[in-house]
Structure 1
Amino acid sequence: SPLWPAGIQASLSHTHSVAMMAATREPLCVGVDVEQIMAEETADETAGMLMSPAEKQRLLARPMPFAQAATLLFSLKESVYKALWPQLHQPMDFLQAEVLELDVQQGRATLRLCQDFDEYFTTKALLQARFWLAGDRVITLLTHPLPTK
């Protein structure tokens, strides 16, 4: 994990020839991710590991190829992990966060945690993310207020 200067919350991601960083001085957890769209075969093979049956149904109802939707879900969950890691310092499984809503037109998603990690990051916490579908890539950004201690 990178070490940021005091008062800076930030996240890094890269894929192929693209690197991204999101940083803020605001009291926010930050997670950014960029992914190449996975192949249809990869999306089908990894669906059970990446998403719940309910999430798969939500994705199949979206007006986008399943591989693009699965990559978006993967990237959103990577952004959750990157945003929460500095607070929790514990690994997360892909099924420990769930995509509840995807607004493809607005590029917005709502996720929730599927287990309580601590008194602040619980199943009641709704996490808001933005996303961009850029050619053969998906970019996601999740921000969430830092816990007040």
Structure 2
Amino acid sequence: MIDEILPDKVRSSEAFHDPAGVMLFPEEAALISKAVAKRRHEFTTVRHCAREALAALGLPPSPILPGERGAPGWPDGIVGSMTHCAGYRAAVVAHHTDLASIGIDAEPNAPLPEGVLDAIARPEEKDRLRRLPGSPHPANWDRLLFSAKESVYKTWFPLTRAWLDFEDASIELHPATATFHARLLVDTPATADRPLREFHGRWLANRDLVITAIAYPG
């Protein structure tokens, strides 16, 4: 499903349940040895997806350990992103020579909990949401906005190694094309090798999920 909103140069794998018998590398297993079952399942399955996606690029299985701020540690020369929510896990990867960064996010297609929109949305974003088509459109717009912001951060961080707050990007959703545009409102850190002004992404709503993706060419 997620491959519908990603370019051909990206390899992906997704799961709608947690398969039995999936093994972790010892160093991965050590990280979740004391975690609750839910956390162990999502951690394990999303790494299974990641290894399937890497195999599609011709790469052997390897540990995928969380690094700074939890960002996945991909093999040299690889960019990628992972996401998980109830009933869904996915991972996407590409060669760095093809894309500079990728960010994906999946969320349940349901309204955000009370108060969350006020915490994550800028005033102009709330105005845009009010102007979007109402039911029976397939997406919950507030949840889609949240997901798009998550994909923006996951694309931004590998390029900058810097934090990005929710209010540091202004997002406009485009229902007619199932795309979104994110305007970055902060200066690009010196740690990045190029100025970052905007990201363009795609989204879909299907199987009670909203999924967003950014494939940034650099």
Report the TM-score range of the alignment, normalised by the length of the smaller protein.
0.7 to 0.9
Other-structure match for 1:27: 99
Q: What TM-score do you get using the length of structure 1 for normalisation?
A: 0.85
Contact 1:113 1:121 in 2 (8 A): no
Task: Measure how far apart 1:24 and its partner are.
Answer: 1.1
Residue ranges of structure 1 left out of the alignment (5+ in a row)? none
Find the aligned partners of 2:214 and 2:175 in 1 and give their Cα distance: 16
Amino acid of the structure 2 residue aligned with 1:113? L
Q: What TM-score do you get using the length of structure 2 for normalisation?
A: 0.59
Other-structure match for 2:83: 13
Find the aligned partners of 1:72 and 1:121 in 2 and give their Cα distance: 26
Taking every aligned residue pair, what percent have the same amino acid on both sides?
30
Tell which has more relative contact order, 1 or 2 (C-alpha 8 A, sep 6+).
1
CA spacing shift, 1:64–1:7, aligned 2, 3 Å: farther
Other-structure match for 1:103: 174
Report matched runs for 1:67-86 at 5 Å: 68-86=140-158
Amino acid of the structure 2 residue aligned with 1:97? A
Amino acid of the structure 2 residue aligned with 1:103? H
Task: Measure how far apart 1:133 and its partner are.
Answer: 1.1
Amino acid of the structure 1 residue aligned with 2:100? L
Q: Is 1:114 aligned to residue 185 of structure 2?
A: yes
Find the aligned partners of 1:117 and 1:74 in 2 and give their Cα distance: 22
In the TM superposition, what whole-angstrom CA distance separates every residue of 1:37-85 from its partner, at most 9, and x where no partner exists? 3436x1x5122211111110101111145x8111111100100111111
Per residue, is there more strand in 1 or in 2? 1
Find the aligned partners of 1:45 and 1:73 in 2 and give their Cα distance: 14
In the TM superposition, what whole-angstrom CA distance separates every residue of 1:11-37 from its partner, at most 9, and x where no partner exists? 000001210112111132100000013
Question: What SS does the aligned partner of 2:212 have?
Answer: strand
Amino acid of the structure 1 residue aligned with 2:215? T
Task: Measure how far apart 1:97 and its partner are.
Answer: 0.7
Find the aligned partners of 1:55 and 1:121 in 2 and give their Cα distance: 24
Find the aligned partners of 1:121 and 1:136 in 2 and give their Cα distance: 36
